[in-house]
Amino acid sequence: AQSVTQPDIHITVSEGASLELRCNYSYGATPYLFWYVQSPGQGLQLLLKYFSGDTLVQGIKGFEAEFKRSQSSFNLRKPSVHWSDAAEYFCAVGHNNNDMRFGAGTRLTVKP
Amino acid sequence: EAGVAQSPRYKIIEKRQSVAFWCNPISGHATLYWYQQILGQGPKLLIQFQNNGVVDDSQLPKDRFSAERLKGVDSTLKIQPAKLEDSAVYLCASSSVIGGEQFFGPGTRLTVL
């Protein structure tokens, strides 16, 4: 069965510092992988997705993620965090956009 | 383009009462999803519609939850009777086609006392 693990419940980084949010997945076939962001009181917004091809995926708001099949990982990165990036981040795995399974989320706090 | 609309935004009820949530997807989107997001967890798919037909309701607790999308546009999710463990945010999402990108509404936060 497919599943997603986000090992870090809460991460705090200073504004301007780099960020990496971890995501590990379990899936029986070639996975479709996603990162979503959820700000307080808002719905989820898609940051980026990986279906095939180049394993380094660029998304919105300066985020990128790298698919590493050997490690079953799809970590999200940003070189310089802004205060507005404070939010909850969810990794998801699925068959294209169907049957998506979400991780428990990582809450990002940005220190001034 | 208007996004996915949900109402109400907040609802507080007592256990054993009934509650209904409404979702209006993005215009023209044929696929509609309802998710349950319990505090501290990621969203869990409850039911998926394609137009007015159910594609997947394998994770819907059918003894108390029901959903409909009679005209293939807006949808209603109902809980009857509610339990304490139903306290969660209920998210609606839509996509233009099955397998297309999902766009999420702001959610309805349900508190069951």
pLDDT in tens, A44-59: 999 999 988 899 999 9
Q: What domain count does chain A have?
A: 1
**pLDDT at residue A98, as a whole number:** 63
Element (H, E) at B87: none
CATH number of the domain bearing residue A51: 2.60.40.10
Q: Where are the domains of chain B?
A: 5-97
Instruction: List, run by run, the mean pLDDT of 10-residue segments along chain A (112 residues).
Output: 90 97 88 90 89 92 95 96 96 76 95 94
For B110, half-sphere exposure in the C-beta direction (CA atoms, 13 angstrom radius) is 29
Whether A73 and A65 have beta carbons less than 8 Å apart is answered as no
Domain that holds residue A61: 3-111
Best residue in B45, B98, B102 for a mutation probing chain A (most A CBs within 10 Å): B102
Mean pLDDT of all residues in B29-48? 93
Best residue in A97, A101, A106 for a mutation probing chain B (most B CBs within 10 Å): A97
Closest partner CB to B91 (pick from A43, A92, A105): A43
Please, what sign has the CA dihedral across residues B105, B90, A96, A93?
A: positive
CA dist., res. B23 & res. B32, Å (int): 9
Say if domain B5-97 classifies as CATH 2.60.40.290: no
